[in-house]
Amino acid sequence: MSTTAAPAAVSEIRMPKYPECWSSCGSCASGDIFVLEVFVNPGDHIDCEDNIISIETGKVALDIPTPWAGTVRSVHIEVGDKPDEGALLITLDRDR
C-alpha cells in the first residue's frame, strides 16, 4: 500500500501594517522604509518566527518574521526595495 503526501499549502507572507507610532509622532521613523537585508532564498526551509527580512527607516531597524514553517517557494523583494504595507514578501510552501 502506498501513500501520497498531501500537497503543502501555499501561503503569501506580506509586509505587515506599520506601527501607529510611525505616523503619529515620527520619533521612531522617518517614513522612508527600505529593505536592509533579505535572510531567505528560494528552496530554504524556515521555521515559524524565523526572520525573513530586515527593514530600516531613518532611525529604526526591524526584522520581519514568518508566521509559518515551510519551504520558501519564491522571494518577491530585494535589498533596497521600499515596500508598502501589504506588499508581497515571500511565497511559502507551508509544512503540514
pTM attached to this predicted model? 0.79
Instruction: List the chain domain ranges.
Output: 16-94
Q: Cell 530554504 maps to which residue?
A: 44
Q: What pLDDT digit, counting tens, does each position of 32-46 carry?
A: 789 999 999 999 999
Neighbour tally for 70: CB within 10 Å: 23
- CATH number assigned to the domain with residue range 16-94, chosen from the 4 options 1.10.10.10, 3.40.50.1980, 3.50.50.60, 2.40.50.100: 2.40.50.100
Q: What pLDDT digit, counting tens, does each position of 45-74 carry?
A: 999 999 999 999 877 889 999 999 999 999
Residues 6+ apart with CB under 8 A from 76: 87, 88, 89, 90, 91
Phi/psi for 21 (5° steps) reads: -65, -25
